[in-house]
Structure 1
Amino acid sequence: MKSHRHTVSRRTALSAIGSTGLTLGLAPIAANAQSTAVEPPSTITQPSRSFAPDAPPNVYFWDPDVIALDDRFWGLMQPNAPIQRLWTGALWAEGPAWNAQGRYLVWSDIPNNRQMRWLEDDGHVSEFRDPSNNSNGNSFDFQGRQLSCEHLTRRVVRYELDGSVTILADNFEGKGLNSPNDVVAHPDGSYWFTDPPYGGQLYEGAPDAAGGPSNVDGLLNNRLGQPPEIGEAVRELPTATYRIAPDGTVTQVATEDDAPDPNGLCFSPDYRTLYIASTGKGPGDTGPGGMGNMYAFDVNDDGTLSNGRLFSDFMIDGVKCGPDGVRADVAGNLWCSSNAGRNVGYSGVTVWAPDGTLLGRIRIPEICGNVCFGGPKRNRLFMAASQSIYAVYVGTQGAAPA
């Protein structure tokens, strides 16, 4: 992994833009006009800026919370596009996915046991599915069908075009899954998903029945507030990453040793590399759990993985910017959600070149759980962050489907 070597200040970048006029058709900005500019406010200033739809306009040429750490980042962002909060009201927003035909964004509000939908034409937000079985990750396959990972029912499902629901996976070799987290489609018709244990808790699903790994002492009643069919499920498997073949066969492609507590995942645009975020220790884990890293694997023609390696440890300025969700753009850069805990100004999105170089960051005032590209041109980055949904137009396109 290569560390970033270029730190470009906003003022330096603006001066360079002003002197060269390379601003995607915008008028050049005089360098001397920038020399007296006041450093704009950001999420780490007091008082904090407002991201709300009715907030005062952001008049700065580069949004003050778009931070370049490598010159290449300027080409990935849109100079005059502000970061906007589109909606707030979730308990924990996750799994954003863009439906290109319907021109809407869908995401999960896991603790509230619902899926939400934002319509692009008028910004209307409504409940899309309630209950959602504490769904987490969502995506759309190449036929436009929605895929969802359900914590409560410990399964991966597909919503068919006729409105019916197909269970794609709920076990491996006869043992129940933990709580599938994120799922992506491959052009060969297969689906790949991660299975950490985060749904094995009261807040985002249901703990194990008495005696299970996440309820060893049996103090929690796993059936309170749940439908009767929740039963007496207990965790049976280590964390792992799986592939569902077109014929429905489920195989394990990465073990707990390869990528512990796997969370978000995505393919490179050519589908020759799979990236897996490995996050923190979850309920019922007996080992050390993930360390907030990301791993890369070669994807073989037979649907297996090889050459696993660390992509990044996500340490930035001495701060752990733990990845959760991840998506790739058409050039293979990775856009990763950032959970920096209480380190205000480091949560949001980190952007990485395929060689592991950190290109830049997008700061938002909430921990970001997952991201996706959308909009008619697929040039808008949507960020599901704690209680809210944020968006910013960028200068590239996401690799499809979202």
Structure 2
Amino acid sequence: MTDPTAETFEESRLSRRTLIAAAGLGALSAAASPALAQTATGAAAPPSTITNPPRDFSRRGAPTTYFWDPDIIAVDPSFNGLAQPNSAIQRLWTGALWSEGPAWSAQGRYLLWSDIPNNRQLRWLEDDGHVSVFRSPSGNSNGNSFDFQGRQLSCEHLNRRVVRYELDGSATVLADSFEGKKLNSPNDIVAHPDGSYWFTDPPYGGQLYEGAPDAPGGPSNANGKLNPRLGQPPGIGLAKRELPTNCYRIDPSGRIDLVVSEAQVPDPNGLCFSPDYKKLYVASTGKGPGDTGPGGKGDIHVFDIGADNKTSNGKRFSDCMIDGINCGPDGLRCDVEGNLWASSNAGRNVGYNGVTVFNPAAKIIGRIRLPEVCGNITFGGPKRNRLFMAASQSLYAVYLGTQGAGPG
């Protein structure tokens, strides 16, 4: 069933701009922040506005009348061939608490994503735009993907494991520990043509909102005041963080190997391969719950992948700084030309949330601005030329002039 709460919210909500005008605060807000004012009316734009005049992403909003969407920005002329000039950014759905892990099922022609705090996975159907709850509970799943056989892969915060949903409807636990120690909270996963799976294991699931804290005395519950068992099924809330925040490879044989250590990339989050599978990109995000060190710095790293499946020549790909603002990366995907598309979390820095696009040489060539923090992205659609963006409470999409590399 479609989430009735989300539909009611979408159909009945008043825009912030309307509320401000009704309260008579337009002039005051415009004076306080003239850069966000509408010059035609003098009414203040809402804090989330990134275009002028402000745009309304709701179903009642006016269509984009510009030939080139004003929130798709070509920083470099090379981006002009990647964007689709007459395609507008669309908000497909809203009503989540925190949207993450979008993945495209090519066979089913649907977009799957996680609503982590609500402990569910949602599904958007391409044929009619219908949204329904796909899986609940989901183990507070975060990252999802589909392998080369069309099987869904999910990273579960709550259960501290990686699972694969088989074509017959059963589920297989691919990884829940490394060298006898429980995983932290697997975050993102990608499939390799050799049958292996690569995933990251930061500590973000070790919090009440997105999973369960450590048992008393663990890094994310050091003083033991939190009760991680409240509201949870039996067996949850008993584990403590035991491992660094590493990146792992699951061999087709089932063996799990460490491929990128915490010393190389602290708090690894999103990851993806280059189109030729010779490079691995890994996003390093901010300090997680229970981190005793400095944590990630909100940048992207890249490694060469050898014939032995080992990484080498690691270096920082980008510091993700634009105009002095850190556009913190999370989800990563490459297109067929080798350009890297990264979601952007710039917090309250309006106009910098969305997607940042880099060419293979790490030069920023394009940006997509969204009115919400963007957590993760994926390429989808029958032609794989549509970028889906899981952004805070909503799901956005835009058609492109290029295709994504690899399965969803």
Same fold (TM > 0.5): yes
- What whole-Å deviation, never above 9, does each CA across 1:264-285 have from its counterpart, x for those lacking one? 0000000000000000000111
Is the counterpart of residue 125 in structure 1 residue 143 in structure 2?
A: no
SS at match of 2:219: coil
Aligned-pair CA distance for 1:47 = 6.2
Alignment correspondent of 2:207: 201
Please say if residues 155 and 169 of structure 1, whose CA atoms lie closer than 8 Å, have aligned partners that are also in contact: yes
**1:396 corresponds to:** 402
Task: Please say if residues 52 and 84 of structure 1, whose CA atoms lie closer than 8 Å, have aligned partners that are also in contact.
Answer: no
- Tell me, yes or no, if the aligned pair for 2:51 and 2:71 is still in contact at 8 Å: no
Secondary structure of residue in 2 paired with 1:123: coil
Within the candidate set 86, 89, 100, 1:94 is matched to 100
Structure 2 residues without counterparts, runs of 5 or longer: 1-38
1:220 corresponds, among 202, 205, 226, to 226
5 Å matches for 1:150-169? Answer: 150-169=156-175
Give the aligned residue type for 2:67.
Answer: F
CA–CA distance in 1 between the matches of 2:402 and 2:52? Answer: 32
Tell me by how many angstroms 1:57 deviates. Answer: 1.1
Paired letter, 1:164: S
Shift of 1:229: 1.9
**Residue 90 of structure 1: SS of its match in structure 2?**
coil
CA offsets per residue over residues 270-313 of structure 1, 9 Å max, x none? 00000000000001111100000100000111111000011000
Q: Given residue 93 of structure 1, which amino acid in structure 2 is its aligned partner?
A: S
The one-character-per-residue Cα deviations of 1:23-74 (angstroms, maximum 9, x if unpaired) are xxxxxxxxxxxxxxx99x9932466311234421111010010111100011
Cα displacement string for residues 151-206 of structure 1 (whole angstroms, at most 9, x for unaligned residues)? 00000000000000000000000000000000000000000000000000000000
Indicate the residue corresponding to 1:340 in structure 2.
346
Matched to 2:184, the amino acid is: N
| Secondary structure, aligned partner of 2:220 | coil
Partners of 1:53 and 1:84 within 8 A in 2:
no
> Which residue of the other structure, out of 49, 52, 55, is the alignment partner of 2:58?
52
Are 2:264 and 1:233 equivalent residues in the alignment?
Answer: no
* CA gap 1:324/1:333 in 2 versus in 1, 3 angstroms: same
> 2:90 aligned to 59, 69, 84, which one?
84
The answer as to 2:318 corresponding to 1:317 is: no
Structure 1 residues 335-354: Cα deviation after superposition (integer angstroms, max 9, x where no partner): 10000010000000000000
Counterpart residue identity of residue 127, structure 1 = V
CA RMSD of aligned residues (A): 1.4
Cα separation, 2, equivalents of 1:182 and 1:45: 32
Partner SS, residue 379 of structure 2? strand
What SS does the corresponding residue of 2:235 show, helix, strand or coil? helix
Q: After superposing the two structures, state which structure 1 stretch, 43-52 or 261-270, moved more.
A: 43-52
Inter-partner Cα distance in structure 2 for 1:68 and 1:45: 15
Partner of 2:192: 186
- One-letter amino acid of the structure 1 residue matched with residue 373 of structure 2: I
Residue 299 of structure 2 is aligned to residue 293 of structure 1: yes
Q: Percent identity?
A: 74
What secondary structure sits across from 1:72 in the alignment? helix
What residue number does 2:25 align with? none
Q: Which letter does structure 1 place at the counterpart of 2:292? A: T
* Aligned-residue offset at 1:231: 4.7
- Whole-Å separation in 1 of the counterparts to 2:60 and 2:120: 26
What per-residue deviation string (whole Å, max 9, x for no partner) do you get for residues 346-402 of structure 1?
000000000001001000000000000000100000000000000000000000201
> Do the aligned residues in 1 keep the contact of 2:50 with 2:369 (CA within 8 Å)?
no
